[in-house]
Amino acid sequence: MAIWQFTIAFLPQDWLDAGGDVHALFEDEGGFDASLAWRSFRPSKLEGVLGNAALGKGKSYHSDVTVWGNEQTDYIQLWRRKEKVQSVTVRFDLRQPNMALFQQVTHIAQELRLAIVTLETISVVPLDVLRLLRAAAESGAAHFVLDPTSFLSQMESANSRAT
């Protein structure tokens, strides 16, 4: 993931409604494993709907991954193992925000009953494009894009306090 990308994950809303805990999907080392949430999801329309998100099919680096877009800009990634969904993530390039993609992601979530989770804050974003845009605007990626020097200075300060 590039520093200028704001990243979200889709999770099945039914999993959350059944008491699924988003925080349980994050590993101690900072990893994210959404396969538990997707375990009972039936992906019949998922790939087709994701493919309609105005991003051309991208080059995949693994046989279990389907990609749309470009990993340095706007990017959708669908991980499957044995035809079962493992995760779906979307990266937005905040250097040149693609407003249509923000709208399409919200529409996809509504159509397929998916929740939108920001990976940076581990929070569920209401299915409203303005709320998704606000989450992106408040992200570290947006801070970096608006003022890289300040962002990097803050990172340096945080790292020196941690040591």
pLDDT single digits (tens) 61-82: 888 888 888 888 899 999 988 8
Share of the chain above pLDDT 90, in %: 47
Whole-number pLDDT of residue 45? 77
Whole-number pLDDT of residue 132? 96
Q: Cα(100)–Cα(107) distance, rounded to whole angstroms?
A: 10
Whole-number pLDDT of residue 138? 92
State pTM to two decimals: 0.86
Q: Cα(136)–Cα(134) distance, rounded to whole angstroms?
A: 5
* Residue whose C-alpha is closest to residue 12's, from 144, 127, 112, 99: 112
* SS3 of the chain: helix, strand, coil, percent, to 5: 40, 25, 35
- Residue 83 is classified by DSSP as T
Q: Cα(106)–Cα(136) distance, rounded to whole angstroms?
A: 13
Q: 86-95, pLDDT tens digit by residue?
A: 999 999 999 9
